[in-house]
C-alpha cells in the first residue's frame, strides 16, 4: 500500500487541486485505505487550501466516509423494505455470526466490517450487498457461506468469481424510449442541422417533463438556462438514484449510456455549456469504469471534446463525480453543493439552478431518464414522443417494479397506464398496497388501483413497490421512518427533530404501547413537517405515515395499548408531598386534567 502523502500527490495530479474536488479526494482515500486517515485531513487542507474544520464537516456528513478503517472487506447489506421481505435480516445476522463481528464494528483483526445501508438499487435482484463497493445480488445462505470462506482465506474481492457480481438489466417491457434506437452522434447532428432555437421548440412541443418526479418542462428549463447571462454555463446529470425501490437509472447507465451522454451534449449545445458533470451515487461505483470507457470512446469518435463532429466552437466534455452515500443529494440544490465539495445541504430557492447553479453559474440539471428522452426527441421529433401518453403527461415512463410479484424488473409504459394494469403485467396477486414513487411517495390501497401513472394523477419518479395481503404494512412504514431519520441532512428542525419523533412513535405503535393520543400526535408532527421543512425531501418524509393512517387505519388501531391517553407520570399524585408540607387541601392545590391534556 502506498504511503499517504504519495497517494494524495497522485490523486492531486489525476483529479486536480481545486477546493470543490474535496469530496472526490475523500472518496478516493476511502476506497484505497478503507477510511480517511487523520493525517490526510492535514495534507488535503494544505493542498486544497481548505480549512480542516470544513474537511471534517464533509467527512462526517457522508455515510460512506469513515474515520476508522473498515478493513480489507467492507460489506454493506441493502436494507430497503424489499430486501427485508426477501430475508436479508437472516442473511445479515448469519454473516455477522460466521465472521464474529458486530454490526458496523470492525473486527479485532481489522480484516472486515459488516453493516447495513439504504437501498442499493438492486431491489429486483435482492437481497443484495455491496462488497468494497461492488454489488453481490441474489444473496442466499450458500452465497453468504462462500463469501465467508473467501474472506477468511484472504482472497481479494477482485479474484472472487464474477458470477457473484452479475446484475441483470431485467427489462420486462419496452416502449419508445427503450425500443427506438438512434445512431451515436445523430442527435448532435440534428442539433447542428436545425440550430438551438428549433431544437428547443422541438423539446417544448414534445411535452417532455423532468423524470425525477417534479415534472418541470425540460425545454423551458433549458431555455431559461440558455438565456441567463453568464460567462459559463453547465450541464449536470443527476444519477443519484437514492429513492428506495428505484433502479431504472441503473439500467440506463449500464446499457444506454451513449444515449445519456448524447442528451447531455445536445443540452450543452443549446445552453452554451463547455463542461458537463455526471453525479453518480456511491452505490453505483461498480458502473463507473464502463461509463468512463464510454466517455473515452465518444471522445475518440469526436462526440466529446474540442470541435464536436467538426463544428468549430462546439467544445464540450463530461466528468464523473462520485457521491458518497447521502439520500439528500438527490435534491438538485443539495447535489450541486455536493458537486462543489461541500455537505449536501439544500439551498434556499430562488435563485434556481437555471440561473445560479454549479459554481453559481446557470446550470441545466436533469436526471438520467430525461437526458435519454431528450436525445431521442432530437432525432425522432416532437410528434414521435407525444404520440403516446396523456394531454398533460406525454411520452413514456420507466417503472422499477419490486416486491410481491412474480416478474420484478423494469417496465416502460406510456403515461396513463393504470395501477391495475401494471399489477397484471408483473403477475402480482392478492395485493394489499402499492407504494408509488419510493418512500416519499404515495401508498395506494386496492380501491385506488384504477388510478393512472401521470403527473396529473399519480406522479412517479420510478419506484413501484408491491405488498400482498400477508405483509405487515407497519413494517414498511417503520422501515421508511428509520430511513428518513438516518438520511436527514440535519439542517432544519422540522425534518431533523420531526423525523426522529415520527420514528419513535411508529416504533411505539409497533411494540403495542401507543394510544389514540399518539396517532393524533403523528398526524400533527407530519403536517408540521410538510408545511415547514426546508426542502421537498423533508416535506415528503411523513407521507408513508400520513397515507397509511388515512388509508390503512387498521394497521395502527389493532396495536393500540388503549383508546385514551395514559400519562407516563401522575402529576397530581406527585404533588401529595407538597400538599402535606404546606397544609394545603383547598381546591386550588389539586390539578384538574382534561382528556386532551
Model confidence pLDDT, tens digit, residues 320-336: 999 999 999 999 999 99
Please report where in the chains the cell 421512518 appears, as a residue. Answer: 481
> Do 247 and 321 sit in the same domain of this protein?
yes
C-alpha dist (Å) from residue 321 to 23, 27, 273, 292, 550: 9, 10, 17, 11, 41
CATH number at residue 373: 3.40.50.11540
The dihedral built from the CA positions of residue 34, 39, 41 and 46, taken in this order, carries a sign that is negative
Evaluate whether residue 583 is within a structural domain. Answer: no
CATH number at residue 435: 3.10.20.600
Evaluate whether residue 528 is within a structural domain. Answer: yes
Residue 515 CA to residue 479 CA, distance in Å, equals 21
State percent of the chain over pLDDT 90.
92
Residue 502 CA to residue 541 CA, distance in Å, equals 10
**Residue 594: pLDDT band with limits 50, 70, 90:** very low
Q: What confidence score (pLDDT) does residue 212 get? A: 78
Is the pLDDT at 337 greater than 70, yes or no? yes
> Do 377 and 266 sit in the same domain of this protein?
yes
Task: Report the candidate in 524, 526, 555, 522 with the shortest Cα–Cα distance to residue 541.
Answer: 526
Please report where in the chains the cell 383508546 appears, as a residue. Answer: 563
Asked if 19 and 359 touch (Cβ cutoff 8 Å), the reply is: no
> Do 221 and 263 sit in the same domain of this protein?
yes
Q: What confidence score (pLDDT) does residue 595 get? A: 42
Evaluate whether residue 581 is within a structural domain. Answer: no
Mean pLDDT of 356-369: 98
**Residue 581: pLDDT band with limits 50, 70, 90:** low
**Helices 493-510 and 473-487, axial angle in degrees (round to 10):** 150
Q: What confidence score (pLDDT) does residue 2 get? A: 79
Evaluate whether residue 336 is within a structural domain. Answer: yes
> Do 247 and 345 sit in the same domain of this protein?
yes
Question: Is residue 558 exposed (0-12), middle (13-18) or buried (19+ Cβ within 10 Å)?
Answer: exposed
Considering 168, 191, 216, which residue would you say is the last residue of a domain? 168
Terminal Cα distance for the chain, rounded = 63
Task: Report the candidate in 211, 595, 143 with the shortest Cα–Cα distance to residue 396.
Answer: 211
Q: What confidence score (pLDDT) does residue 189 get? A: 97
Evaluate whether residue 290 is within a structural domain. Answer: yes
Q: How is 344-359 classified by DSSP, letter by letter?
A: -PPPPSSSPHHHH-GG
Is the pLDDT at 214 greater than 80, yes or no? no
> Do 255 and 317 sit in the same domain of this protein?
yes
Phi, psi dihedrals of residue 277, rounded to the nearest 5°: -135, 130
Evaluate whether residue 38 is within a structural domain. Answer: yes
Asked if 365 and 357 touch (Cβ cutoff 8 Å), the reply is: yes
**Helices 368-380 and 248-255, axial angle in degrees (round to 10):** 50
Q: What confidence score (pLDDT) does residue 597 get? A: 40
C-alpha dist (Å) from residue 151 to 144, 285, 338: 11, 21, 34
Q: What is the pLDDT of residues 57-75, one digit of tens each?
A: 999 999 999 999 999 999 9
**Residue 591: pLDDT band with limits 50, 70, 90:** low
SS3 of the chain: helix, strand, coil, percent, to 5: 50, 15, 35
Asked if 473 and 431 touch (Cβ cutoff 8 Å), the reply is: no
Max distance between CA atoms of the chain, in angstroms, equals: 98
Strands (E), 179-316: 234-239, 275-280
Is the pLDDT at 388 greater than 60, yes or no? yes
Phi, psi dihedrals of residue 363, rounded to the nearest 5°: -135, 125
Q: What confidence score (pLDDT) does residue 596 get? A: 41
> Do 150 and 246 sit in the same domain of this protein?
no
CATH number at residue 106: 3.40.30.10
> Do 202 and 274 sit in the same domain of this protein?
yes
Q: What total of structural domains would you count in the chain? A: 5
Q: What confidence score (pLDDT) does residue 567 get? A: 57
C-alpha dist (Å) from residue 69 to 90, 113, 554: 26, 9, 46
Q: Sort strands 129-131 and 134-136 into parallel, antiparallel or unpaired.
A: antiparallel
Q: What confidence score (pLDDT) does residue 215 get? A: 86
Mean pLDDT of the chain: 94
Q: Cβ neighbours of residue 195 under 8 Å, at least 6 residues apart?
A: none
Residue 160 CA to residue 447 CA, distance in Å, equals 48
> Do 485 and 458 sit in the same domain of this protein?
no
Residue 499 CA to residue 521 CA, distance in Å, equals 13
Please report where in the chains the cell 419506484 appears, as a residue. Answer: 463
> Do 333 and 245 sit in the same domain of this protein?
yes
Q: What confidence score (pLDDT) does residue 569 get? A: 58
Is the pLDDT at 593 greater than 70, yes or no? no
- Which region, left, alpha or beta, applies to residue 499 given φ > 0 means left and ψ of -120 to 50 means alpha? alpha
Residue 368 CA to residue 175 CA, distance in Å, equals 17
Q: What is the pLDDT of residues 498-556, one digit of tens each?
A: 999 999 999 999 999 999 999 999 999 999 999 999 998 889 999 999 999 999 999 99
Considering 421, 450, 471, which residue would you say is the last residue of a domain? 471
Q: What is the pLDDT of residues 430-444, one digit of tens each?
A: 999 999 999 999 999
Q: What confidence score (pLDDT) does residue 537 get? A: 85
> Do 291 and 412 sit in the same domain of this protein?
no
**Residue 285 grid coordinates:** 461505483
Q: What confidence score (pLDDT) does residue 77 get? A: 97
Q: What is the pLDDT of residues 238-255, one digit of tens each?
A: 999 999 999 999 999 999
CATH number at residue 528: 1.20.1440.230
> Do 331 and 346 sit in the same domain of this protein?
yes
Residue 331 CA to residue 547 CA, distance in Å, equals 22
Range of the domain at 480: 474-557
Q: What is the pLDDT of residues 111-155, one digit of tens each?
A: 999 999 999 999 999 999 999 999 999 999 999 999 999 999 999
- Helix, coil or strand: residue 428: coil
C-alpha dist (Å) from residue 176 to 182, 458, 560: 11, 21, 49
**Residue 189 grid coordinates:** 447532428
Evaluate whether residue 591 is within a structural domain. Answer: no
> Do 343 and 443 sit in the same domain of this protein?
no
Mean pLDDT of 423-429: 98
Evaluate whether residue 304 is within a structural domain. Answer: yes
Considering 142, 168, 194, which residue would you say is the last residue of a domain? 168
Amino acid at each position: 500500500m502506498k504511503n499517504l502523502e504519495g497517494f494524495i500527490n497522485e490523486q492531486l495530479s489525476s483529479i486536480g487541486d481545486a477546493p470543490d474536488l474535496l469530496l472526490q479526494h475523500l472518496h478516493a482515500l476511502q476506497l484505497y485505505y478503507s477510511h480517511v486517515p487523520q493525517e490526510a485531513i492535514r495534507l488535503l487542507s494544505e493542498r486544497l487550501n481548505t480549512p480542516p474544520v470544513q474537511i471534517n464537516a464533509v467527512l462526517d456528513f457522508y455515510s460512506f466516509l469513515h474515520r476508522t478503517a473498515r478493513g480489507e472487506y467492507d460489506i454493506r447489506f441493502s436494507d430497503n423494505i424489499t430486501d427485508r421481505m426477501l430475508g436479508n435480516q437472516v442473511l445479515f445476522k448469519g454473516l455477522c455470526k460466521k465472521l464474529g463481528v458486530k454490526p458496523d464494528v470492525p473486527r479485532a483483526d481489522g480484516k472486515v466490517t459488516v453493516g447495513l445501508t439504504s437501498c442499493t438499487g438492486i431491489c429486483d435482484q435482492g437481497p443484495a450487498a455491496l462488497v468494497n463497493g461492488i454489488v453481490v445480488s441474489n444473496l442466499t445462505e450458500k452465497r453468504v457461506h462462500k463469501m465467508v470462506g473467501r474472506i477468511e482465506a484472504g482472497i481479494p474481492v477482485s479474484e472472487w468469481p464474477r458470477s457473484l457480481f452479475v446484475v441483470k438489466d431485467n427489462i420486462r417491457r419496452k416502449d419508445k424510449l427503450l425500443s427506438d434506437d438512434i445512431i451515436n452522434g445523430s442527435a448532435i447532428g440534428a442539433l447542428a442541422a436545425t440550430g438551438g432555437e428549433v431544437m428547443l421548440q422541438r423539446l417544448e412541443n414534445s411535452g417532455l417533463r423532468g423524470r425525477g418526479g417534479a415534472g418541470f418542462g425540460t425545454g423551458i428549463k433549458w431555455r431559461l438556462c440558455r438565456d441567463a447571462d453568464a460567462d459559463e454555463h453547465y450541464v449536470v446529470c443527476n444519477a443519484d438514484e437514492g429513492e428506495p425501490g428505484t433502479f431504472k437509472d441503473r439500467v440506463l447507465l449500464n446499457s444506454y449510456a451513449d444515449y445519456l451522454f448524447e442528451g447531455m451534449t445536445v443540452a450543452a449545445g443549446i445552453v452554451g455549456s463547455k463542461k458537463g458533470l455526471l453525479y453518480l451515487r456511491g452505490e453505483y461505483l461498480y458502473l463507473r469504469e464502463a461509463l468512463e470507457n464510454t466517455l473515452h470512446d465518444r471522445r475518440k469518435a469526436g462526440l466529446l471534446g474540442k470541435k464536436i463532429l467538426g463544428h468549430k466552437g462546439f467544445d464540450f466534455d463530461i466528468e464523473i463525480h462520485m457521491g458518497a452515500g447521502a439520500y439528500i443529494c438527490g435534491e438538485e440544490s443539495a447535489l450541486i453543493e455536493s458537486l462543489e465539495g461541500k455537505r449536501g445541504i439544500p439551498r434556499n430557492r430562488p435563485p434556481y439552478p437555471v440561473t445560479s447553479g454549479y459554481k453559481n453559474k446557470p446550470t441545466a440539471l436533469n436526471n438520467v431518464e430525461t437526458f435519454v428522452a431528450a436525445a431521442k426527441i432530437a432525432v425522432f421529433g416532437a410528434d414521435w414522443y407525444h404520440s403516446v401518453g396523456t394531454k398533460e403527461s406525454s411520452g413514456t415512463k420507466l417503472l422499477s417494479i419490486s416486491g410481491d410479484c412474480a416478474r420484478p424488473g423494469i417496465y416502460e409504459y406510456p403515461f396513463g397506464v393504470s395501477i391495475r394494469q401494471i399489477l397484471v403485467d408483473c403477475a402480482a396477486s392478492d395485493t394489499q398496497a402499492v407504494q408509488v414513487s419510493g418512500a416519499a411517495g404515495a401508498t395506494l390501497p386496492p380501491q385506488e388501483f384504477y388510478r393512472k401513472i401521470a403527473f396529473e394523477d399519480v406522479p412517479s419518479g420510478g419506484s413501484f413497490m408491491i405488498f400482498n395481503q400477508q405483509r405487515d404494512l407497519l413494517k414498511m412504514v417503520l422501515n421508511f421512518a428509520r430511513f428518513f431519520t438516518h438520511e436527514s441532512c440535519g439542517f432544519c428542525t422540522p425534518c431533523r427533530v420531526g423525523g426522529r419523533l415520527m420514528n419513535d412513535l411508529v416504533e411505539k405503535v409497533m411494540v403495542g404501547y401507543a394510544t389514540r393520543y399518539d396517532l393524533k400526535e403523528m398526524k400533527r408532527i407530519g403536517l408540521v413537517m410538510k408545511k415547514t421543512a426546508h426542502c421537498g425531501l423533508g416535506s415528503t418524509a411523513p407521507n408513508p405515515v400520513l397515507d397509511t393512517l388515512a388509508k390503512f387505519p387498521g394497521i395502527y388501531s389493532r396495536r393500540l395499548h388503549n383508546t385514551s391517553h395514559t400519562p407516563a407520570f401522575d402529576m397530581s399524585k406527585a404533588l401529595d408531598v407538597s400538599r402535606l408540607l404546606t397544609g394545603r387541601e383547598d381546591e386550588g392545590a389539586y390539578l384538574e386534567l382534561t382528556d386532551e391534556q
